[in-house]
Amino acid sequence: MSLAAMSASRVNGQVPPAIKPDKKVEAKVEKVLKKMTLKEKAGQIVQLTIETIQDDSLQTIDPVKLDRVIGESKIGSILNVMHDIAHSREHTAGMVKTIQDKSMESIGIPSIYGLDMIHGATYLTDGSFYPQEINLGATFNREYARMMGAALAYETRAAQVPWVFSPVMDLGRDPRWPRIWESWGEDPYLQAEMARTETKAIQGDDPNHIGLESAAVSIKHFMGYGVPHTGKDRTPAYIPVNDLREKYFRPFKECIQAGALTVMVNSASINGIPTHANKELLTGWLKEGLNWDGMIVTDWADIANLYKRDHVAADVREAVAMGLNAGIDMIMVPYDPEYVDVVMSLADSGEVPMSRIDDAVRRILRLKVRLGLFDKPLWEHDYKDFGCERFAAESYAAALESEILLKNEDGILPLKGNERILVTGPNANSLRTLNGGWSYTWQGDADNFAPQYNTILEAMRARFSNVDYVPGVVYDEEWGEWMKDYAVGIPEAVAAAGDCDVIVACVGENTYCETPGNMDDLNLSANQKDLVRALAATGKPVILVLNEGRPRIIGDIEPLVKAVVDVMLPSNYGGDALAALLSGDENFSGKLPFTYSKHINALHTYDYKVSERVQTMGGSYNYDAVMDVQWPFGYGLSYTTFEYSDLKVAVPGSTGDPLGFSDTDVLKVSVKVTNTGSRSGKEAVLLYSSDLVASLIPDVKRLRGFEKISLEPGESKVVEFELPAKELAFVGADGRWRLEKGDFRLSCGGLASMVNCRETKVWDTPNI
């Protein structure tokens, strides 16, 4: 649909506001806007990093720099901490107070401070950390997204910071991309459910009035950021427009409709257009298409990239004009207050209409009013639960449910407890690798900031009585080299294996974030594979523990080991959770939120097209379209077993064929799940649909529902799903949503049932 058509649709009232307007909020915005000078408006549009106002120690704010940035340039927003420095809640609050006092004195408008709080209050040395989003996706349990969001907001607000650049909802559909672990996985439904839950937990129930234990979100990165053609961060993506609308837009749309106040933009480009200059997406899809009055902020230096990197603008003036006219409201510059002068000049010349300047400033002011910053630029509140035991217990529980048992040959796990255990590998005695990036510092440095927590080795020694340790391979800790690993003692590890009964080999990746995590080979490193091969050659059983931010290729060494556990990035309590799971004190229940690829040149997602079939040795085709992968999406083992039965589908109110439906119906699906083993366990029950015939080649299946249940031995539960028929629609070649007449298969736990859509329905609106 064109921008004009979407605008008309909004004016005609067909698109309800994403956030219901509040008259008092709007009156305050207009009152402030009316009194502002052009320079003050331009200053609101520009955001700078904290470094621009700090002294040489990078610990204290320099009053001279602060006066230049806020007193003279009227800058309205500050973000960030330095890459290798982390601060306490108290120190952070003190810095914000200094900034806020200056802003109120010089401008009379509160500043807004933003931080990348990705998996908890992760830029505070005394904050609570949860497993990374990819781990919470593996729980298939919305409750952990809620818990993390609530704790993240509470502790961030306790540091006088009201705005978080979170949650991340880039679909992790290319395992080469170095930010896979910041996503909830590869599926748009899982991503949307978890991100929407976290958004509401961070902001609270009323986006017009954000409380003192809540914060504003910046959902990111809008959109298609996670599938760069090269696999490298911040490089171009090429995405069919129907996929962009149907899959990549969905998590953002649902978070916007749940009240998300701000959006951060994809740093790269889609189909040749830099996202920061894409008016169709920023103004058309987001603002007008969703009738959304929130604020759009750039990512780091991305307006400058329009001319420095992308060459769609000739200079800074043209780049700023291009971004603002496309729909950008706040520019994360992040170092040059002179951008204020550029914005003013563009407004004076008319290259950016004053109406667009005022619209951007309204959106920024509206955010500040909704946060209550005009009434309380700084606030007093009893944050007695900061760093509390409840948050720690939630983090530990999330780690338990997120770590995934992928192989358990001969029932080697759980361990009996009396074994002589050799723990080895570069990730065995590292806390930073359990956390990943955005942990205390940008690239992640938990070893220096949080030594009070247990590494895998320390947790194993706390749980088991006979544990030896030889690293075998270690990471380089020098900046710029820390992702490399070196074989420093494989012979020593092999020698130590002679005195053990079982080997726990902890391999994977060191921490990384964004572009420093780019790679040329998805294979697990040769040094680590050599370590596993040498240990397996001793004849001692090897338990392979994968501690990684993305699924590294291990197809050649997987047959050599007895068990595989993927802990991914479970954070500070991940080592304790692993020891409890290996010992059998707890049971595994995590499932893969992504497809674990087996071959370097065969990177698939679970919802591939049915035409992507694997040819068998006999030359016929496998019509179930089963891809050759290491482990599929949704895979994960347990110490108990579950049986599915009695899959039932009903269409309430339908006449004639009881399983026939139309676009307005809601399908009722139920399935009975029984714990047929001897241990209690949790099971993620996943519901899929398959469109059997469609006008575009259909996906082999799509996730349509999930629920996490707990069952005692012999216990059964009936899990119920409500599936709106509209969920079975797709975006056709004409760009319109369509639900087509024909058969659909609904499947759950190996069972399937057929339903039939009676007639085709096509929607003219871009969002249904």
Phi-psi domain of 22 (left: phi exceeds 0; alpha: psi -120 through 50; beta: other): beta
pTM, entire model? 0.95
Q: Using CA atoms, how far apart are residues 650 and 669, in angstroms rounded to an integer?
A: 7
Contact 552, 546 (CB under 8 A): yes
Tell which of 583, 603, 632 closes a domain: 583
Q: The CATH number of the domain where 44 resides is what? A: 3.20.20.300
Tokens at 306, concatenated:
């329009």
Which of 543, 561, 583 terminates a domain? The answer is: 583
pLDDT in tens, 260-303: 999 999 999 999 999 999 999 999 999 999 999 999 999 999 99
| CATH code, 541 | 3.40.50.1700
Assigned domain for 655 exists: yes
Please check whether residue 530 lies inside any domain of the structure: yes
| Domain identity same for 444 and 553 | yes
Q: With b meaning 16 or more CB within 10 Å and e meaning fewer, what string describes 508-517?
A: bbbbbbbebb
Helix 456-463 with 574-583: angle, nearest 10 deg: 40
CA 663 to each of CA 656, 699, 762: distance values in angstroms, whole numbers, following the listed order:
16, 20, 10
> Per-residue pLDDT for 615 more than 80?
no
Q: Evaluate if residue 453 carries a pLDDT over 90.
A: yes
Active-site residue set: 299
Please tell me whether residues 307 and 427 are part of one structural domain.
no
Give the separation between CA 156 and CA 130, rounded to whole angstroms. 14
Report the alpha-carbon distance of residue 81 to residue 59 in Å, rounded: 10
Burial of 521 (0-12, 13-18, 19+ CB in 10 A): exposed
Give yes or no: residues 355 and 410 share one domain.
no
pLDDT given for residue 764 in this prediction: 92
The string of pLDDT tens digits covering residues 533-565 is 999 999 999 999 999 999 999 999 999 999 999
Alpha carbon 57 to chain centroid distance?
33
Helices (H), 120-236: 133-139, 142-158, 188-203
The pLDDT tens digits of the residues spanning 687-746 come to 999 999 999 999 999 999 999 999 999 999 999 999 999 999 999 999 999 999 999 999
Residues 154, 249: one domain? yes
pLDDT at 626 over 90: no
Residue 216 has pLDDT above 90, yes or no: yes
Instruction: Out of 12-16, 93-97, 502-506, pick the least confident.
Output: 12-16
Residue 196 shares a structural domain with residue 333: yes
The mean pLDDT of the chain is: 94
Residue 474 confidence (pLDDT) above 80: yes
Q: Are residues 662 and 728 in the same domain?
A: yes
- Torsion sign over Cα 24, 29, 32, 35: negative
Residues 180, 256, single domain; the answer is yes
pLDDT at position 418, please? 95
What residues contact 388, with CB distance under 8 A and at least 6 apart? 128
**Distance in angstroms (rounded) separating the CA atoms of residues 205 and 2:** 33
- Residues 680 and 646 placed together within one structural domain of the fold: yes
| CATH number for the domain that contains residue 744 | 2.60.40.10
The verdict on residue 386 lying in a domain is no
Domain of 752, in residue numbers? 642-762
Establish if 58 belongs to a structural domain: yes
Is pLDDT above 60 for 5? Answer: no
234 with 279, same domain? yes
Number of domains in the chain: 3
Q: Give the residue carrying structure tokens 């035991």.
A: 389
The pairing of strands 404-408 and 421-424 is unpaired
Does the residue 599 lie in any domain?
no
Would you say residue 624 has pLDDT above 60? no
Let me know if residue 613 belongs to a domain: no
Q: Tell me which amino acid residue 318 is.
A: E
Residue identified by tokens 């994977």 is: 508
Query: Are both 39 and 171 inside the same structural domain?
Result: yes
| 382 in any annotated domain | no
- Do 266 and 340 lie in a common domain? yes
What Rg, from alpha-carbon coordinates, does the chain have? 26
Do the domain assignments include residue 628? Answer: no
Which residues, at least 6 apart from 727, have a Cβ–Cβ distance to it below 8 Å?
Answer: 689, 704
- Among 583, 608, 634, which residue terminates a domain? 583
Statement to judge: residues 129 and 190 lie in one domain? yes
Instruction: Give the tens place of pLDDT for each residue, 633-658.
Output: 999 999 999 999 999 999 987 666 77
Cα distance between residue 234 and residue 247, in whole Å: 20
